[in-house]
């Protein structure tokens, strides 16, 4: 038999029930889940919705597994997870290596074991309680946030060259919205390497990338060949010329040397689609050089926010339209931007310190809730 380890780190539920993603990654450790759970508390507070912070997953490697193997692993994991989650206790969702298919299997097992149809998971298929736009929410939300940052700084997304890392849920939907807003997406990547083209991705090419990744699990190397882009084996996107960088793959994927290369190549704005993709040194360098920088807890909060909206729809036994969810998402991203500006603004039209603003705004809300409830 094969044995894997699963975890759920329930970090704080002072504002609402625990909420956060589940990750399948052979390199996963409890320590990674703890920092992700910690960050999740402040992100969820920033959304303005009543959700606490958690993170979980397993050191299971989904790559190369059959559909049946994935289903059986999801069922085995839920046999244990069922004791800890519930619509008013802890509501997991997908994350790296866990998409709609996995959430479907997890939900099916939860429903079978509990004999209840309730919103104990988010990111479900829209035919069984999932919210419209949840799949797209994180990536779209990143672009809405970037747009708000540029509005504040007197710029525009249209015509900007954007380097994106990753080729998963967040990266591909960030790319989709970037193209829709008139930007040039000059890179995508995976753990094998980077595809690059200075002219940028056409919408039609993006459809090809999505199909190849989602239906056939192709690597970026194969995708690059198919769409006729340059492939840089073993390289990250951070040596490309760009105006904006959106790290959307994983933690610690952009270090201080990468930050220097980006700045030297003209990058003026960095927003984190992934959780903690930039090392602390890299962030210091961006801020020292006046590069606008938005941490994941602000820029990628659209995903968990729409998960919060999915939970609300499930609790009301209602289904909202895509337009309604999109309007709510844009409003939530704007509110997060305003909170960052209020707590991280430097006055007089000077650049906002989004790192400081996001940390203070998220912390203040959570600390107030804990003190009021006598937790401290
Ligand atoms: P996916 O599993 O859909 O995609 C992950 C992508 O990142 C893949 O292209 C993967 O490539 C790449 N990647 C993973 N590890 C590495 C690595 N070590 N080096 C280079 N590339 C790597 O995950 P998501 O898109 O959902 O998540 C991406 C990030 O966004 C994570 O940090 C996640 O926590 C964060 N996030 C996700 C949200 C969501 O709603 N999904 C919400 C908020 C944040 P490969 O195939 O080679 O592994
Ligand atoms: O929807 C969620 O609860 C969720 C899923 C995956 C990642 C995140 C995140 O905010 O990092 C949230």
DSSP-assigned letters across all residues of 61-86? --TT--HHHHHHHHHHHHHHHTTT-B
CA distance 94 to 291: 31
Do residues 340 and 149 make contact, with C-beta atoms less than 8 angstroms apart? no
CA distance 299 to 46: 11
As a whole number of Å, the end-to-end CA separation of the chain is 45
Report the separation in Å between the CA atom of 43 and the middle of ligand 2, taken as the mean of its atom positions: 10
Nearest Cα residue to atom 37 of ligand 1: 95
Ligand at shortest distance from the CA of 44: 2
Report the separation in Å between the CA atom of 38 and the middle of ligand 1, taken as the mean of its atom positions: 19
Question: Ligand 2 atom closest to Cα of 36?
Answer: 11
Spans in the chain with pLDDT lower than 50 = none
Instruction: Decide: helix, strand or coil at residue 203.
Output: helix
Share above pLDDT 70 across residues of the chain, in percent, rounded to a whole number: 99
Residue 294 vs residues 66, 174, 334: alpha-carbon distances, Å: 38, 15, 13
Tell me which of 43, 304, 312 to substitute to probe ligand 2's pocket, judged by most ligand atoms within 8 Å of the beta carbon: 304
What local confidence, expressed as pLDDT, does residue 375 receive? 63
Ligand at shortest distance from the CA of 250: 1
Extended strands (E) in 115-179: 161-165
Report the separation in Å between the CA atom of 95 and the middle of ligand 2, taken as the mean of its atom positions: 6
| Side-chain half-sphere exposure of 50, counting CA atoms within 13 A | 7
What local confidence, expressed as pLDDT, does residue 120 receive? 98
Residue with tokens 């007197």: 154
Question: Ligand 1 atom closest to Cα of 275?
Answer: 32
Report the separation in Å between the CA atom of 367 and the middle of ligand 1, taken as the mean of its atom positions: 30
Tell me which of 103, 121, 172, 250 to substitute to probe ligand 1's pocket, judged by most ligand atoms within 8 Å of the beta carbon: 250
Nearest Cα residue to atom 31 of ligand 1: 274
User: Is 55 tagged catalytic?
Assistant: yes
Handedness of CA 299, 300, 305, 310 (dihedral sign): positive
Residue 230 has phi, psi (to 5 degrees) of: -70, 135
The residues lining ligand 1, judged by C-beta closer than 6 Å to any ligand atom, are 21, 94-97, 138, 166-171, 190-192, 248-250, 253, 273-275, 300, 303
Question: Ligand 1 atom closest to Cα of 277?
Answer: 32
The residues lining ligand 2, judged by C-beta closer than 6 Å to any ligand atom, are 19-21, 40, 43, 93-95, 122, 275, 303-304, 307
CA distance 58 to 45: 26
Report the separation in Å between the CA atom of 229 and the middle of ligand 2, taken as the mean of its atom positions: 31
**Active-site entry in 19, 34, 43, 55:** 55
What local confidence, expressed as pLDDT, does residue 216 receive? 86
SS3 content of the chain, % helix, strand, coil (to 5): 50, 15, 35
Our CA angle for 318, 16, 120, nearest 5°, is 50
Tokens coding 162? 């954007």
CA distance 303 to 103: 15
């Amino acid at each position: 038999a094969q044995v894997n380890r699963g975890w759920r780190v329930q970090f704080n539920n002072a504002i609402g029930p625990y909420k956060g993603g589940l990750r399948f990654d052979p390199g996963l450790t409890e320590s990674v889940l703890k920092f992700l759970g910690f960050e999740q508390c402040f992100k969820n507070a920033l959304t303005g919705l009543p959700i606490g912070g958690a993170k979980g997953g397993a050191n299971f490697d989904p790559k190369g597994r059959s559909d049946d193997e994935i289903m059986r692993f999801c069922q085995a994991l839920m046999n244990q997870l069922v004791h800890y989650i519930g619509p008013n206790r802890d509501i997991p969702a997908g994350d790296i290596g866990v998409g709609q298919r996995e959430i479907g299997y997890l939900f099916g097992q939860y429903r079978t074991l509990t004999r209840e149809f309730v919103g104990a998971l988010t990111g479900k298929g829209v035919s069984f309680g999932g919210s419209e736009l949840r799949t797209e929410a994180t990536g779209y939300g990143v672009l809405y946030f970037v747009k708000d940052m540029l509005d504040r700084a007197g710029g525009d997304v249209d015509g900007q060259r954007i380097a994106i890392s990753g080729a998963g849920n967040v990266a591909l939907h960030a790319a989709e919205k970037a193209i829709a807003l008139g930007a040039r997406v000059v890179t995508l990547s995976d753990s094998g390497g980077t595809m690059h083209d200075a002219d940028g991705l056409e919408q039609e090419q993006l459809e090809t990338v999505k199909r190849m990744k989602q239906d056939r699990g192709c690597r970026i190397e194969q995708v690059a060949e198919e769409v006729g882009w340059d492939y840089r084996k073993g390289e990250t996107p951070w040596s490309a010329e760009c105006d904006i960088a959106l790290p959307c793959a994983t933690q610690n994927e952009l270090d201080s040397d990468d930050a220097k290369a980006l700045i030297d190549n003209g990058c003026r704005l960095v927003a984190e689609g992934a959780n903690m993709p930039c090392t602390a040194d890299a962030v210091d360098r961006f801020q020292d050089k006046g590069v606008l920088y938005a941490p994941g807890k602000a820029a990628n909060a659209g995903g968990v926010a729409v998960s919060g909206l999915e939970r609300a729809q499930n609790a009301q036994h209602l289904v909202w339209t895509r337009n309604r969810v999109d309007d709510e998402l844009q409003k939530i991203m704007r509110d997060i931007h305003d909170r960052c500006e209020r707590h991280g603004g430097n006055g007089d039209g000077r650049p906002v310190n989004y790192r400081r603003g996001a940390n203070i705004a998220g912390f203040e809300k959570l600390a107030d809730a804990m003190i009021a409830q006598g937790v401290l």
